[in-house]
Amino acid sequence: MFCKKLFFYNLIFFSLYAQEDLKYQVPPKAILDLIDVTMPPRVLVDDNKNYMIYLYRDTYKAIEELSEKEMRLAGLRINPKTNIGSRVSYYNNIKISSVVNSLSKIYDVKGLPKNPRLSNVKWSPDQTKIAMTNTTKEGVELWVLDLKSSKLKRLTGPKLNANLGSVINWFKDSKSLLVKFVPLKIQPIIMEDDLIPSGPRISTNDGKKAQNRTYQDLLKNKNDENNFEILAMSELYKVSIKGKKRLWKKKNMHRDISFSPDGSYVLVSTIKKPFSYLVPYYRFPSTYIIHTASSKEVKRLASIPLIEDLPKGFMAVREGKRSFKWRLDKPASICFVSALDNGDPNQEVQFRDELFQLDAPFKSNPVTLLKTQNRYYKSSWCNDTLAIVSDYWWNNRNQKTYLFNPSNPSKESLVISDRNYQDRYSDPGDFVEERNRYGEYVLLLRNKNLFLIGDGFSADGQFPFLDELKIDTFKKKRIYESTIEGKKESLRDFNPDDNKLFVRIESPNEYPNYFFRNLDGELNQITYFANPFKSIQNVHKEVIKYKRADGLDLSATLYLPDGYNFSQKEKLPMIMWAYPREYKDKSSASQMTKNPNQFTYPYAGSPLYWLTRGYAVLDNVAFPIVGEGNKQPNDDFRVQLVSNAKAAIDKVANLGYVDIDRIAVGGHSYGAFMVANLLSHSNYFAAGIARSGAYNRTLTPFGFQSEERNYWEAPQVYYNMSPFMHADKLESPILLIHGEADNNSGTYPLQSERYFNALKGLGATARLVMLPKESHGYRAKESILHMLWEQDTWLEKFVKNKKEIN
């Protein structure tokens, strides 16, 4: 009898204090009203600015959708019934407006499917049509929208295979598409629960180093291998816009597909065996083959082996050909890169990479176009005599941009930019592009001038700009600089033929809208999206600047509730939200890249909701971690972390708006890691909120975030940075939230579970909330509402009403 009573008592105890059987909750109405809004659509614009396409979607998924059957294989998450990613975001409506005829009239699209779930949106080469997929309960269909008639038409039934992406690709005549289909004959999927084990799973190593990050959703056994192969298999069909199908290529694990600019050739990559249990599918063996547009094999470019091991370092790449891309200004020339240092960043060489070109009919040897001093990054093509290539090197944050003559590789290239890519003040901007006769985007060149659009960050604020670069003298001329007061203007495109900019303008309480701006000053609005967040449109917003103890300039965005009385200066509870970033120099780390005129947008994970609950919010707080020269940023991570926090708190304390005894700190992912460290190594905060973090760095022994040293090279760094190792020092209450299906490298759910168990064992005040079906970012509306309820309840108890508790 005594044992039964003790057992019953234990059940009650653990139901009250260990676990809670809690249904999904919703936050207070003030927060709920900011969630239950209809968001303006995503906007697509054709190159000639004749049409604007409005794509609408629900802001959040339903937990029912996340609960659909899902297979996690080789880094992918797949719905095996529909053959598309299980976490794809879908559009549920489309509308069109004609920029030329009438901007006041937005037309409904005719022929929308019932309960649309649209994705994989792709313009036709002539930009008169848009192809897309529609996902039904049975599978994925192909649909095409004709812009002139505003009519959407279904071309195929639910048989497409979108598991590996690149599911639809237009032929250059805009009359047909190359489409991936589920093979007609295919083996059934065998679910893990249906298997009876025939033996243990065994992994071996032959002494070769394979230092990989902690990838998630990897293959685990032979059944996983079989299922991956089945789900990756597709047949390629040529489908006309009238719906006629013709087999183009038999079944294979087709991955990426791209047409040559003139449409006469198609580059297709396929995945091969053996598969791996250590790395995702994109590091499995693969082949790259060029075919004619009629599917005849022309050239086998490369056979890439399994990539389980690479040299040490973030800049390590595999040996051999890589980065296969068509040269966009030529009819059919393929370009690729090869490492000159065997892919090993620790080798001392003059040049790291070499860029090659191979012309149709691909029977000659490739020719060298350029050698780069850093690792190749990207190419921008213009014509036979003008092209631009950029490289980068992570270790010193250097980026070089080369201008060269691709028809005369012996002529030395010219470095037109050599800079620290984290230095936003010196950013020259991005080159303006235009569509050429092949429908591909190349550098826009007029009268020997190129054009650059830049963000325009500076010590005095943000002033987006348009520059003209003369390619014969390399002198720059500023054509336009935004000086619009009280608003943020983003330059999106430029047409030098009519001196017209396509821009987006917003303010803290005005939702971003699109405009045409003539360089003479005339401004014409073309969209009229209203602010969906009316209840916070009048909150106070300002960018504050301050210094860290070592003199480093820092900044943050401070928000105060609507109607805050500045004369009385009531001291409010405050939420500080941040994310640490690593730098190699103090100059870049101190730059101010916050614009007070940016629209105030409370995204799902934002702290801005608590402005409606009487809190001050310090958002986007600068948390730089600097390691100059040979010193790595993480060598004194904790010291700089605490110093960043103290500088921000000292600043708000001096302003007089905040009760410094009632400050919470919050963050997501690496921001959660920051929160746990701050609560362990400082006494500045009343409580913390840590979402989807990693807390034990020894569980990510081969590097994390920007740390490329492994655990055995820097054990003290891993130890010092791990909040798990210092759980006994945590005194402020901490709320841990994590998605049960987190797929982010290093932040697997075990991190939060083990950290909570340590805190519990040490008697800390902690709460662990595991959100069912959620990944690293939370998608279901039920999950997001519950997360907000948890955060609000935590803040009300341990921050706002802290004095009452004490």
Secondary structure E strands in 286-437: 286-292, 297-304, 321-326, 333-339, 353-359, 367-372, 375-383, 386-393, 398-404, 414-420, 430-431, 433-435
Whether pLDDT at 211 is above 80: no
Specify the pLDDT at position 189: 84
Specify the pLDDT at position 104: 59
- Secondary structure string (H, E, C) spanning 399-411: EEEEEECCCCCCC
Rounded to whole angstroms, how far apart are CA atoms 92 and 57? 5
pLDDT-based confidence at residue 100 (cuts at 50, 70, 90)? low
Specify the pLDDT at position 197: 72
Contact yes or no for 31/793 (Cβ under 8 A): no
Whether pLDDT at 540 is above 50: yes
Whether pLDDT at 785 is above 50: yes
pLDDT-based confidence at residue 185 (cuts at 50, 70, 90)? confident
Q: Measure CA of the first residue to CA of the last residue in the chain; give whole Å.
A: 41
DSSP state, residue 61: B
Q: Phi/psi at 472 (nearest 5 deg)?
A: -90, -30
pLDDT one-digit tens code per residue, 654-702: 999 999 999 999 999 999 999 999 999 999 999 999 999 999 999 999 9
Whether pLDDT at 188 is above 90: no
Long-range contacts of 694-698 (CB under 8 A, 24+ apart): 694/670, 694/746, 694/747, 694/751, 695/722, 695/723, 695/724, 695/751, 695/752, 695/754, 695/755, 696/722, 696/723, 696/724, 696/725, 696/751, 696/754, 696/755, 697/721, 697/722, 698/722
Rounded to whole angstroms, how far apart are CA atoms 761 and 755? 10
pLDDT-based confidence at residue 760 (cuts at 50, 70, 90)? very high
pTM: 0.93
776 catalytic per annotation:
yes
Specify the pLDDT at position 7: 33
Catalytic residue among 776, 783, 786, 792: 776
Q: What angle do CA 630, 723, 312 make, to 5 degrees?
A: 40
Rounded to whole angstroms, how far apart are CA atoms 559 and 598? 13
Rounded to whole angstroms, how far apart are CA atoms 158 and 623? 48
The answer, yes or no, to whether the previous bond of 311 is cis (omega within 30 of 0) is: no
| Length reported for the chain | 806
Residue owning tokens 């999904």: 24
Rounded to whole angstroms, how far apart are CA atoms 404 and 422? 25
635 catalytic per annotation:
no
CA distances from 754 to 384, 625, 731, 765, 768 (A): 59, 27, 18, 15, 10
Specify the pLDDT at position 805: 55
Catalytic residue among 391, 742, 745, 786: 742
Contact yes or no for 633/581 (Cβ under 8 A): no
Mean pLDDT of 405-431: 96
742 catalytic per annotation:
yes
Spatial CB neighbours of 398, under 8 Å, sequence gap ≥ 6: 374, 392, 418, 419, 420, 421
Whether pLDDT at 16 is above 50: no
CB contact burial 492-521 (16+ within 10 A = b; e otherwise): ebbbbeeebbbbebbbbebbbbbbbbeeee
Coil vs helix vs strand at 373 = coil
pLDDT-based confidence at residue 446 (cuts at 50, 70, 90)? very high
Rounded to whole angstroms, how far apart are CA atoms 94 and 229? 35
Specify the pLDDT at position 200: 79
Whether pLDDT at 430 is above 60: yes
Whether pLDDT at 806 is above 70: no
Q: State the helix-helix crossing angle for 670-681 and 637-655, rounded to 10 degrees.
A: 80
Mean pLDDT of 547-576: 97
Specify the pLDDT at position 191: 77
Rounded to whole angstroms, how far apart are CA atoms 337 and 372? 10
pLDDT-based confidence at residue 2 (cuts at 50, 70, 90)? very low
pLDDT one-digit tens code per residue, 485-528: 999 999 999 999 999 999 999 999 999 999 999 998 899 999 99
Instruction: Tell which residue, 781, 798, 802, 797, has the closest CA to residue 26.
Output: 781
Residue type, 493: D
Catalytic residue among 174, 669, 680, 775: 669
CB contact burial 624-649 (16+ within 10 A = b; e otherwise): bbbbeeeebbbebbbebbbbbbebbb
Rounded to whole angstroms, how far apart are CA atoms 772 and 72? 16
Residue type, 373: Q
